Amino acid sequence: MFYIYCPYCGEHREEEEFHPKGQAHLSRPADPDACSDEEWGNYLYFRDNPRGLHHEIWVHAIGCRKFFNATRDTQSYEILETYRMGDAPRVTHFTDKQKS
Amino acid sequence: MPGHVLKTSADYDGETSSLPRETVATEEDLTMQKYSGFGLLKHSLTHHENWQRVWRNPKPKKKYDVIIVGGGGHGLATAYYLAKVHNITNVAVVEKGYLGGGNTARNTTIVRSNYLWDEAALLYEHAMKLWEGMSQDLNYNVMFSQRGVLNLGHTLQDMRDIQRRVNANRLNGIDSEALDTQGVQEIVPILNCSANARYPILGASWQPRAGVARHDAVAWGYARAADAMGVDLIQQCEVNDIITEDGAAIGVSTKQHGTIYGDRIGCVVAGNSGVLAKMAGFHLPIESHPLQALVSEPIRPILDTVVMSNQVHGYISQSDKGDLVIGAGIDGYNGYGQRGSYATIEHTLQAIVEMFPMFSRVRMNRQWGGIVDTCPDACPIISDTPVENLFFNCGWGTGGFKATPGSGHVFAATLAKGEAHELAKPFSMFRFHNGALIDEHGAAGVAH
Ligand SMILES: Cc1cc2nc3c(=O)[nH]c(=O)nc-3n(C[C@H](O)[C@H](O)[C@H](O)COP(=O)(O)OP(=O)(O)OC[C@H]3O[C@@H](n4cnc5c(N)ncnc54)[C@H](O)[C@@H]3O)c2cc1C
Ligand SMILES: [Zn+2]
């Protein structure tokens, strides 16, 4: 069971209040009509899916209902930070201690 | 339902099996002894202490015609059909753990072929036909038990979808029936079919030829038969890079045995597909999620078929040993940890108790997770890749056990010829560029 800090509510809440929404920081092509099939397909479907640090979107579904980002280790499941939409992650690589 | 009897049964519990004993290759190992009733009797005289090793434990050669990364059911089946059908025996299966220890060991073993779209139905039915002859073909009892599978409908829309899928199945020559509430109740008297249920059961699709099989036996049967034809099964050997030259794969680098070269490389690593693709420098339309299952304490025979429900989301069968085998849904977050959240299991048990109130006091014994490779259209990827001579077979997600023989069969042909087998063609990874998706979320909606 995750215990997740919502950066909007400013509180830790139980996992069941939240839904994960996949990889974060994907930017929609500015002009979809100008995309090749490959570019558009990559945007829609292809993902990093790393074994390790993952920046991902969550929604506080039965709380404030806002979307936010989290950086989580997909191996240990440890949540290293949560941050608001539009912000950049602070944790972008493991420190030696975090390496699992 | 006429003639609905439990034929053979599978004694499995989905738990990770103990590591097959270390084996050392000796000359005598190279001719495989045939298993038979007489052999069983003969070995009983020496207290079963003189059975032949099931497979060799060879040192890898420098180079192979084909390297298969991943020794789960699909990888082992691929090796078997490469040797058997295509006469390609200079093959290595490179497995980081032990054979069949991934999702193959962790699944709830439901086998069926009642998928909606032609492409998927033909692929899964191809597998079903191979299941029906597998124990004889491998000389290994995989305990395939065609006890039938029910997919329940709880809403009007469910029932319309079921009708549509049943009709599509029949057009493809797949056994499939639509049942009403009473028809379901006749097959499973202990199912709560009352109109007062929170999500009343309005009917189901029924595939009589569907059922379960023993997961470990499938991996071991393919492994033993492949080994006997000369395939090298290399366990405890993790691939940590794919070596390329001028845009073509030429080998793999491994943690334990250095570089192994191969003319063609097939990756069959399920939840780790994204990791392997990254080594080769491309992305896949796949995310890895935890998927959990659990078994109860053993109870007397009470359920002689398989019951699945998309709507309340749970699926259940009973093993020979008597334990109820229950599968959960995936956890929504990406995870490589082979474990999921408690809440996911709780939801599943709620669904099971809703359907089978009499199970409410059965105690659960064990619980575990696998890492499933889910694809956006709930269909697999059997495909060439941006790297020449490198092929992937993955994306089976929550439901690939049932496809094990078919997947291995068409992937072997793909690796042998260097181009996709006819049945595999629609499952190219590039369908996510050209838009030719095969949406099986309806038939694959419940994790299984
Ligand atoms: C809880 C659960 C229930 C399920 N229930 C069903 C069901 O009822 N019916 C059904 O049809 N399907 C079911 N499935 C899905 C099914 O288990 C899988 O689709 C299928 O077993 C995949 O087989 P595989 O051989 O491709 O993968 P696996 O058995 O996972 O094999 C992949 C192998 O690759 C190895 N590997 C990974 N990385 C490397 C590396 N770098 N180097 C070397 N080796 C590597 C792994 O160790 C592993 O042994 C279920 C899955 C789970 C987890
Ligand atoms: Zn909040």
For residue B76 and ligand 1, the question of a CB distance below 6 A is answered with no
Indicate if ligand 1 lies below 6 Å from the C-beta of B14: no
Please list every residue in chain B whose beta carbon sits closer than 8 Å to the beta carbon of residue A100: none
pLDDT in tens, B186-228: 999 999 999 999 999 999 999 999 999 999 999 999 999 999 9
Distance B88 CA to ligand 1 centre (A): 24
Cβ–Cβ < 8 Å for B366, B13: yes
**pTM of the predicted protein model:** 0.93
CA of A92 to the centre of ligand 2 (A): 23
Q: What tokens were used for B177?
A: 């029936």
Report whether residue B235 contacts ligand 1, using a CB cutoff of 6 Å.
no
- Of A61-70, A72-81, A87-96, B246-255, minimum mean pLDDT range: A87-96
Q: What is the CA radius of gyration of chain B?
A: 22
Ligand 1 atom nearest the C-alpha of B215 is: 21
The DSSP output letter for A10 is T
Beta carbons within 8 Å of B83's beta carbon, 6+ residues apart? B89, B91, B226, B229, B230, B231
pLDDT in the model for residue B443: 72
Question: What's the pLDDT tens digit per position in A6-59?
Answer: 999 999 999 999 999 999 999 999 999 999 999 999 999 999 999 999 999 999
Chain A positions touching B433 (Cβ under 8 A) are 37-38, 41-42
Residue B271, Cβ neighbours under 10 Å: how many?
Answer: 26
Candidates B238, B283, B334, partner chain A, best to mutate (most A CBs within 10 A): B334
Number of the ligand closest to the Cα of A64: 2
* ipTM of the complex, rounded to two decimals: 0.95
- Pick from B363, B388, B376, B326: which is nearest to B110 by CA? B326
- For a pocket test of ligand 1, which of B265, B267, B269 has the largest count of ligand atoms closer than 8 A to its C-beta? B269
Helix, strand, coil abundance in chain B, percent, nearest 5: 30, 25, 45
